[in-house]
Amino acid sequence: MRRLDSAQGDFQLQLKQLTAWEEELDHAVNDTVREVLEDVAVRGDEALLEYTARFDGLELSHAAELEIGQERLQQALLAIDDASREALETAAARIREYHQHQLQDSWNYRDSAGNLLGQQITALESAGIYVPGGKASYPSSVLMNAIPAHVAGVEQIVMVVPAPGGEVNELVLAAAAIAGVNRVFTLGGAQAVAALAYGTETVPAVDKIVGPGNIYVATAKRMVFGRVGIDMIAGPSEILVICDGTTEPDWVAMDLFSQAEHDENAQSILLCPHAGYLDRVGQSIEKLLPEMERAPIIRASLEGRGAMILTRDLQEAVEISNQLAPEHLELSVQDPEALLPSVRHAGAIFMGAYTSEALGDYCAGPNHVLPTSRSARFFSPLGVYDFQKRSSVIMCSAQGVQELGRVASVLARGESLTAHARSAEYRLDE
Amino acid sequence: MRRLDSAQGDFQLQLKQLTAWEEELDHAVNDTVREVLEDVAVRGDEALLEYTARFDGLELSHAAELEIGQERLQQALLAIDDASREALETAAARIREYHQHQLQDSWNYRDSAGNLLGQQITALESAGIYVPGGKASYPSSVLMNAIPAHVAGVEQIVMVVPAPGGEVNELVLAAAAIAGVNRVFTLGGAQAVAALAYGTETVPAVDKIVGPGNIYVATAKRMVFGRVGIDMIAGPSEILVICDGTTEPDWVAMDLFSQAEHDENAQSILLCPHAGYLDRVGQSIEKLLPEMERAPIIRASLEGRGAMILTRDLQEAVEISNQLAPEHLELSVQDPEALLPSVRHAGAIFMGAYTSEALGDYCAGPNHVLPTSRSARFFSPLGVYDFQKRSSVIMCSAQGVQELGRVASVLARGESLTAHARSAEYRLDE
């Protein structure tokens, strides 16, 4: 794992190279995705069946077979072992409780002239949840995507999950049952996004599509944005750990592994003002790595994109973290509350040595769908607010309209919009 | 203006045809925009100067000339007439007051095991405001885009506005001074979006780009989404008026005109359960249209995309409105508060005969950047929430981690993510 030192003259350049991540503007991917979108929009189910056979190796004769019914979900819930079911249910309850704090309420006020002004909050009618399939098919992602929609009051939650070669994950189906998913289709890739955006004879069109996927899914989401809402564009997972040197080095090593094991492109970065502590974590890494199930992926990730950075002090570590806007930030220090107010950009902040990032992935309560690749500068964790929207409310009083009408008239005439001006002027007393 | 009747057998089909609006998946536009984005990303200022000369007919020798300084903004503020300045200032004050109600606060709570859970709200550091130039250059748009960013606490508000042939609008510059814009560049089109997304030697990269523009701007915003945040994709403006037959017909006619005058593709729809009232509004339209400055645009819009719809009752009118999710909805009825709870999808709701949509465009307080083309089903008005983002906060107690660690361990092992499992297990007591 490479070592950097913030005191080095070329540190900023090295940091930039380390964290550079560009989803290539890949013309081939763009063209393929555009073709799939147009085809599904025009041919509907017929196109879905063809792409599902071609890309997922799943041959079906009728589009109705794409749907997994509610009974099948309940069956999965009974089929899984008790420990898994209890863990899923505990996690779901905690996630639900946390997300209820995100519910927004309508509000209004009257100004001094008696005009009523406010905002009415309503839930989306329908939402589509994209859940990756195959090896990376995670029941926790079902909970994290569906529960916020359910808490918001979305009536129709439609999940798509590819079933390569027909294989479905029982835990994923059980999680769908627990999370309140209304309909499930075995669909993946750009064709799944197309089905949710345009609707087909079998798959209902939804108002918003959320959840992470590969480059085809991300590209398709970007292209249908505007026709439907989308959440964010997901890149490789990241963790940035700030240590003051008091956390057990094995714990920190394992926390770094827990991002690295996702993907060779995942990024794990450790910042600490004590060189000796970085050495100790390095030793823990060497000791623990050989015994890990996913050692090759972890090694590739740490060597390719990981780093340990010696900083001047903890405050500088936070500044570097703000610059990188990490998806996951661990403040593995004795007084994390002292650092929190300085944290400006991060998807989720894990405070204190006990709070390993893995707890947030599964059951602490907050969402694990988080902004990556520095996008925590402007994106938020997936939340209930993604499934609610707002309407402005204005009701002018007979008195209040007198001032407003005069101001609107001046401004509208300044913009040469005379119908606007006259419509305001009609409401004025002579 | 065409007349429809909700009792007709083919009403739903006619409604669908009336409101169909598809921004074509225009391959030529896509290719042009992609080229501009890549070029500005690579060549920076040099590319900006070339595109500004080619598309805006503005020849500059140095990129620094693209910037309009603060002194120039203040000069514009002094140059405009008193009535305009006072109107802009009154509007700005009201918009600011309304948007302050949208500020979100950080929150947290402790669960029964003593774990701290919450969300920390912070402002974006920088935002880019796209303001259309030329004929459709509106000072009100500057206020509506910049003030929410300013209220949120964005430190760097960068405005771009094309100056075709070098022409700038004094009211637009004055509005920028009032709204607290930090930097202004005379840039438009896809090249302006590229500059704000990638940054150049002269133009700073920003975290989010908001504001409406033409198809090139919309396409560019969609393409840079993910690298930066964007607000929404704007289509033609729309108004839907629900009348109970008590509003002065001339007022309603003028309200329909006030959307129609924007653009031949704008859509004005009137719903009422009384056929005789629709006749009277029709007569007002015939009477008033010839005297309007923008009569040709209004006529084209009303004939091409407008409609008067006879409904069974007011409740059915609201249902049809929900189906169309209009940008602007006027409840021009005697008891608008009785209808409000049934309104599910609308950008902004104008209640009662006094509340003409034009008041909301300029000075009532709520934002005039609103979702179009049925996207009020999932988008919200532009608001302070567009310029704030959230970080999840988790701090486990030594006791709390015992339950969470066990649950996370079970779920992580179910997903074969053993580093996740072990990082949680380390924190458990033996």
Domains B27-230 and B235-376 share a fold: yes
- For B41, other C-beta atoms within 10 Å of its C-beta total 18
Range B219-245 average pLDDT: 93
Chain A CB within 8 Å of residue B77 CB: no
Q: Would you state the pLDDT for residue B62?
A: 95
**Residue keyed to tokens 């500088």:** A316
Tell me whether strands B107-110 and B116-123 are parallel, antiparallel or unpaired.
antiparallel
- For B38, other C-beta atoms within 10 Å of its C-beta total 14
Q: Would you state the pLDDT for residue A234?
A: 83
Range B30-58 average pLDDT: 94
Split at pLDDT 50, 70, 90, the class of A213 is confident
Q: Is B359 left (phi over 0), alpha (psi -120 to 50) or beta?
A: alpha
B328 is catalytic: yes
- For A53, other C-beta atoms within 10 Å of its C-beta total 12
Kindly report the CATH number that applies to the domain delimited by B235-376.
3.40.50.1980
Nearest 5°: phi and psi at A115? -75, 135
* Mean of all residue pLDDT scores within chain B: 95
Contacts of A120 in chain B (CB under 8 A): 340, 343, 349
From the list A327, A330, A345, A357, the catalytic residue is A327
Q: State the burial class of residue B325 (Cβ atoms within 10 Å of its Cβ: 0-12, 13-18, 19+).
A: buried
Which residue of chain A has the CA closest to B401? A354
Chain A CB within 8 Å of residue B418 CB: yes
Range A342-366 average pLDDT: 97
| Distance from the A391 Cα atom to the nearest Cα atom in chain B, whole angstroms | 5
Contacts of B416 in chain A (CB under 8 A): 293
Which residue of chain A has the CA closest to B369? A392
**Rounded to the nearest 5 degrees, what angle is found at the Cα of A363, between the Cα atoms of B390 and A277?**
75
Split at pLDDT 50, 70, 90, the class of A261 is very high
A421 contacts B294? CB cut-off 8 A: no
Option in B251, B363, B418 nearest A411 (CB):
B363
**B237 marked ligand binding residue:** yes
Amino acid residing at A422: R
Range B17-46 average pLDDT: 87
d(CA B80, CA B84): 7
The percent of residues in chain B predicted with pLDDT above 90, rounded, is 90
For the stretch B385-414, pLDDT in tens is 999 999 999 999 989 999 999 999 999 999
For the stretch A121-159, pLDDT in tens is 999 999 999 998 866 679 999 999 999 999 999 999 999
Cα B114 from chain centre: 42
Chain A CB within 8 Å of residue B293 CB: yes
Q: Would you state the pLDDT for residue B5?
A: 96
Chain B CB within 8 Å of residue A261 CB: yes
Q: Is the pLDDT of residue A242 over 60?
A: yes
The percent of residues in chain B predicted with pLDDT above 70, rounded, is 99
Option in B248, B292, B363 nearest A419 (CB):
B292
Split at pLDDT 50, 70, 90, the class of B23 is low
Nearest 5°: phi and psi at B141? -65, -30
**B415 marked ligand binding residue:** yes
Tokens of B129: 């405001």
**B328 marked ligand binding residue:** yes
SS3 B229: strand
From the list A99, A150, A328, A345, the catalytic residue is A328
Residue of A426, A413, A422 whose CA lies nearest to B289:
A422
d(CA A409, CA B263): 20
Question: What is the DSSP code (8-state) at residue B222?
Answer: H
Instruction: Parse chain A into domains and list their residue ranges.
Output: 27-230, 235-376, 396-425
B378 contacts A229? CB cut-off 8 A: yes
Q: Would you state the pLDDT for residue B133?
A: 82
Split at pLDDT 50, 70, 90, the class of B25 is low
A232 contacts B88? CB cut-off 8 A: no
The interface predicted TM-score (ipTM) is 0.95
d(CA A85, CA A90): 9
For the stretch B82-134, pLDDT in tens is 999 999 999 999 999 999 999 999 999 999 999 999 999 999 999 999 998 86
For the stretch B142-176, pLDDT in tens is 999 999 999 999 999 999 999 998 889 999 999 99
Option in B34, B347, B419 nearest A298 (CB):
B419
Q: Would you state the pLDDT for residue A356?
A: 96
Alpha helices in B7-69 (DSSP H): 11-19, 27-43, 45-56
Kindly report the CATH number that applies to the domain delimited by A27-230.
3.40.50.1980
8 Å CB contact between A280 and A249: yes
| Distance from the A397 Cα atom to the nearest Cα atom in chain B, whole angstroms | 7
> What is chain B's alpha carbon radius of gyration, rounded to the nearest angstrom?
25
For the stretch B144-153, pLDDT in tens is 999 999 999 9
Tokens of A67: 């749907």
Chain A CB within 8 Å of residue B87 CB: yes
Q: Is the pLDDT of residue B428 over 90?
A: yes
B226 contacts A223? CB cut-off 8 A: no
Q: Would you state the pLDDT for residue B135?
A: 64
Contacts of A418 in chain B (CB under 8 A): 261, 292-294
Higher pLDDT, B133 or A324: A324
Split at pLDDT 50, 70, 90, the class of A25 is low
Which residue of chain A has the CA closest to B257? A419
Range B210-220 average pLDDT: 91
Q: Would you state the pLDDT for residue B24?
A: 54
Chain B CB within 8 Å of residue A377 CB: yes
Q: Is the pLDDT of residue B304 over 70?
A: yes
Q: Is the pLDDT of residue A188 over 90?
A: yes
B345 is catalytic: no
